[in-house]
Structures are given as C-alpha cells and as structure tokens.
Structure 1
C-alpha cells in the first residue's frame, strides 16, 4: 500500500525546514509568497493530505457536532437531520449521529459516547420519557455546549429552537370552530414531553376562547404507539356524545387514529374529522390526510439549531460566551389545510 506523503518529505525535497512547510501550508504571514507557492504546489503534486487529528489537537477542536434524535425513520427527524447537515457543511463541520429510540437510558449512553469522542457541541431532540437532564448538564464541565430542538426542556437555562405549538393549537381549535365543529377531542402525547404540555395548554385556551366548556372526557393521551392510540380512540368513541373532530398529537398518531376509525366503519373526515401536527409530506400520500396540520418546519429547526451552535462555538472561541447567556429561537407554527371541511357539529 502506497503511503501518504508527509511534511518531512516535502521539506526534504525543497531543502527547507519542517516548520517552514507547516507554516506555508497554513498560509502563515511570516512565510514569503514565493516559498508558499512552491510548498503548496509540491504538496498538491505529491497528493499531500494534512493530518486532521494533529490539527484538531492543536486547535482543541474536532469540527464534529454530535446529533441525537429519537428515530431517524420518522420523517420529521430525517428532515431535521438534513437541515443540520446542510448548515454544518457550510461551516466545514461534520456530524456524529445517534438515536435514543425514545429511551432515556439509551439517550444517556449515546450522549456519553459523544462526550468521549470530544464533539465540539451537541444538538438534541429529547426522548419522550426524558425528565432528568443530568447527563446533558454534565457536558458543561467539558465545555461542550448543548442546543435543543423541537423536543426541548421546560426550563429557561438552555439554548433551544422550537415551534410555538401553544399558538398553533389555539389556531387549530379556532379553525375547527369556524368550520362548525363543537365537540372537539384531543389525543395528546406523553406527559413528560414539554411539547405535550404546550399542546394541552393551547387546547384548553382554544376551547375557552370559543366560549365552549372544557370537557376532560374529550382528552385522551397516547405513548405514541399504535396500540395506545387505538385505545385512546376506543375511549373517545365510547362517549355518550362522541367527538365530531379530533386533534391528534402528530401525523403518525393521526394515521393510527384514522386506521382505528375505519375499522369501526366511521366515515373519516365526514362523521369525524381529523387534524394534526407536523405537516409531513407522507400524509399527502394517505387516503385520509388531516384536514389541517400545524407546520413545524423540521428542516428549518435543524438548520437553525446548527447555525445557533456555530454561533455559540464562535463566541466560545472569542471568549464572549457566559453561563448566563442562552439563545431561544421560536419559529412560527402555521396551519396548512389539505382539503375543505364539511359543516361540523
């Protein structure tokens, strides 16, 4: 196997010192233009590649950002990864990617592995069961900043990027009310998710805003599994006065809820209409997409999270960052209608 050329070999051929070659390759101002051109030209001809590890060691940077998400198979997170990677490449960073599979213990293990790899920073969307943050706060002593996106922690002392799901839910309830629907049910997500709390608060505010009574019998929750969603649907349909409209936690819950409704011979989006969150492209290929969905901009969230990370790392290099300075970016959640709704009840 042919060995890669080294700085020593370039220096030997040009009869200059190794330090001169090193400085010429890094465009050091103390090296004359003529020498620089000779060194760089020979390095190119020889196929010289700089030793990235040596450079990173010297600069105390790896130019790698750790990224942890629940599932890559979910379209929302795969779009977010694309946004993160696109922004990373623009700034000559690469990403080290891991999945928590919505398991807090696995999330801890992945974060620990990335810490050992000495990533420059960590971008994470929390697992649905995460309610302790010690494993993430521990990164502070290693000077590894953390940026949360989409599934963010409830406390203020964190860098985070997310959509305003509270307002999105209020708007969604208002949209249904204006279409004539009054018995509006809600299948929410796991209690530990801050996003579930935002949706719940938005639902209560949206119902109250329309002068309707908040009936907690109309509220069920799912752990995001098909079985749990089917059970939530079973309870809602068993009510004396079942709902005429159902808000589902996300587009995956929507599809499971619709599947159950069909098995009960319910005419979807006629007997009961469904609305959702995320506005994933996959729903446009289903027989019954949600009448309206809250756009959460996964690509944009990922892209902005990486841009925020680059900004934090730049300030860290310039010694401008402090432990009391946190960036919070809230993207607007907008409603996207798929089809016209018929008059509700």
Structure 2
C-alpha cells in the first residue's frame, strides 16, 4: 500500500477540505483563496501527487493523443516531418502514436483501425503510394476523428491538407536546366496514383513546351520507387538512340539508385550523364555526386503545419460540411536548390 499513488481524496482528508476544493486548487481556479491553494499544492507536491489522466480525458472528452501514419519512418523525408509533427504536438500537450503503412493500402487500413481503437483525437497521414480509394479514411468521420493529410495528399478538395507545390518548382527546374545548356531532359517519375507524380509531369511538360519544343515522350519513364523498377527505367532511357543528357528523378532516394546504376555501367556522373531531383535531403550531401539541382519540399515545415492545423480543428470543433471553404489547405512553395560545386565547375569549364 505504501507504493500506492496518492489521490485527491487523501489530500482532501488530510487538509479537512472537500474534494472539489482540492480539484479547483490544483487547477488554480480563481474561486479558491491563495492560502488554501498554496496548502493544497504544497501537500500534493510533498505526496508526489499526479493527476489521474484517465479522469481528465473522460471529463474533457479527449485522449490528447494524435495518430500519425507514414509510409516509412526510416526515410529521411518522413523522419524530418515527424520532428515537425512532434514539436508542434508537445507545444500543445499532445503525444503521438506512430504507425507505418510500408507503402501498402492494406497495412494502412490496419494501422488506421488500431488508431481508431485507441480513440485518437485526430489523425495525420501521408498516403501510401497505392492508395486510390479513401473509404477507410472517410469512415473516421462518424467517430468525429478529423484527418489532416500531408505531402502525399488525396486529389479531392474536401480535405484538410498540407503539401508542396511541385508543379511550379518543376517548371523552374526545367528552365534552369535549359539555361545551363541541357536540351534533352529525361524524367523518371513516380507511382501513377500519387498526386505529386501528376504535378511533376505537368510541370515537366509545361517547362519544355514553354521553350517551344515538342515533348519527347520517350524521355519519360516511371518507377514504383523500388530499385528494380528504377533500374529498368534507366535501362530504357540509356538505350535510346539519342539518350538524355540529364535525368530528373522522382526523389532523392530514386537519385541514389540511378547513380548506382550509372556507376555499375561505367558512366561518368556529371560528365557522361547528369541528375536532378526532388526533396533536397541532407543525406545527398554525403554522397560523391549529389543532384546538380533539387527542389526543397520542407518536410519539417509540412509536418509542423499539419499538426498546427489539426490542433486548430480539434480546439475549434470545425464543422466539416463538404464545402471547400471549410477545409484548411496549406500550399508550401518548393524552392529550387542548386548544387554550388556544379556551378563552380560549369563556370571554370
């Protein structure tokens, strides 16, 4: 019994006051005088009293837990996003419950079901690359669990989401590549079900069209983000009679795979072939040949914004009526980052 945690009732009994008086004193309620408040708080500290969180959650009808579902926590992009999510959560006294979809829809559904059973107050999710049906997510509405999507977001407007504008960034990248003398620009795009894949493609086509050139569809390949699929895309591009001078890859992880493929086939990177990419992850700075250009997608900021929006929804009890104007949508502009060493080499050549 000595190890039993003290309760409000015990504090009330020792001070000969009511339980409600102790409860209010501990929460600094103005109706309790300073002397009583001090006595209660000092005794609570002396007894190592800790609030009964279950009782508090029941009273406030909150668990103060946010569910977060990501494709892979091991990817630097998503680990950066997690840091932003967790920082914002802790500022509002929320804790995080993480789950990984491993980029699979069925796994995503199972993790989502577990989150629902834990009665999370809200959910932040970056969709798996295969998710194109959103019924399992829509069912959370009847449980009054709001969802904020980030990075990999759904195509419809009636959703809260935070994402990076890759369409404009891709146009800017294509323009920059042309300005550096590249005429044949290859492109290894991502899975067809991702919105970001279509945004990249639109930007690529628009960028080339603005140069009054016809888009050569042979320079376009796709990967499902696996190494094998990326290697096949590289094989097709390099087998062309007139292969690309530079290849834009879907993200920095695809960039790492195409570099490996190029080196295995005795191609001199940044001489025989050049690469540009997306995400601008710090990990690429440790490689022998980082992309000559990469679009910064601000994963930390995306995660932080997603959490701030979710907290706002929970606190304000926003009515989600299906009208676009009632949904928070934060678009973050991607920033084209240029590899300084490439610029220096270009200037000296």
Q: Which runs of 5+ in 1 are unaligned?
A: none
For 2:59, the equivalent position in structure 1 comes to 58
Q: Deviations for 1:188-216, whole angstroms, at most 9, x for unmatched residues?
A: 00000111011111111111111221011
Q: Which moved more, 1:122-131 or 1:332-341?
A: 332-341
Question: TM-score w.r.t. structure 2 length?
Answer: 0.95
The answer on 1:157 being equivalent to 2:158 is: yes
Cα separation, 2, equivalents of 1:100 and 1:242: 36
For 1:306, the equivalent position in structure 2 comes to 307
For 2:68, the equivalent position in structure 1 comes to 67
Cα separation, 1, equivalents of 2:11 and 2:18: 9
Q: Deviations for 1:202-256, whole angstroms, at most 9, x for unmatched residues?
A: 1111111112210111000001011110010000001010000100000000010
For 2:174, the equivalent position in structure 1 comes to 173
Give SS of 1:97's match: strand
Cα separation, 2, equivalents of 1:271 and 1:80: 35
Q: Deviations for 1:30-56, whole angstroms, at most 9, x for unmatched residues?
A: 322221111111101110000101100
For 1:330, the equivalent position in structure 2 comes to 331
Cα separation, 1, equivalents of 2:42 and 2:233: 68
Give SS of 2:342's match: coil
Q: Which moved more, 1:334-343 or 1:211-220?
A: 334-343
Q: Which moved more, 1:190-199 or 1:322-331?
A: 322-331
Q: Which structure 2 residues correspond to residues 174-253 of structure 1 after superposition, within 5 A?
A: 174-253=175-254
Q: Deviations for 1:157-213, whole angstroms, at most 9, x for unmatched residues?
A: 111111100111111111100001111010000000111011111111111111221
For 2:137, the equivalent position in structure 1 comes to 136
For 1:116, the equivalent position in structure 2 comes to 117
Q: How far 1:21 sits from its partner (Å)?
A: 1.2
4+ runs of 1 displaced by more than 6 Å?
none
Q: Deviations for 1:235-281, whole angstroms, at most 9, x for unmatched residues?
A: 00010100001000000000101111111111111111100000000
For 1:29, the equivalent position in structure 2 comes to 30
Cα separation, 2, equivalents of 1:119 and 1:292: 40
Cα separation, 2, equivalents of 1:311 and 1:321: 12
Cα separation, 2, equivalents of 1:269 and 1:157: 44
Give SS of 2:3's match: coil
For 1:321, the equivalent position in structure 2 comes to 319
Cα separation, 2, equivalents of 1:150 and 1:226: 22
Q: Which moved more, 1:261-270 or 1:274-283?
A: 261-270
Give SS of 2:187's match: strand
Cα separation, 2, equivalents of 1:209 and 1:156: 29
Q: Which structure 2 residues correspond to residues 2-21 of structure 1 after superposition, within 5 A?
A: 2-21=3-22
Q: Which runs of 5+ in 2 are unaligned?
A: none
Cα separation, 2, equivalents of 1:118 and 1:32: 37
The answer on 1:294 being equivalent to 2:307 is: no
Question: TM-score w.r.t. structure 1 length?
Answer: 0.96
Give SS of 1:294's match: strand
Cα separation, 2, equivalents of 1:140 and 1:161: 19
Cα separation, 2, equivalents of 1:191 and 1:322: 29
Q: How far 1:311 sits from its partner (Å)?
A: 1.2
Please report the RMSD computed on the Cα atoms of aligned residues, expressed in angstroms. 1.2
For 2:342, the equivalent position in structure 1 comes to 340
Q: How far 1:61 sits from its partner (Å)?
A: 0.5
Q: How far 1:25 sits from its partner (Å)?
A: 1.4
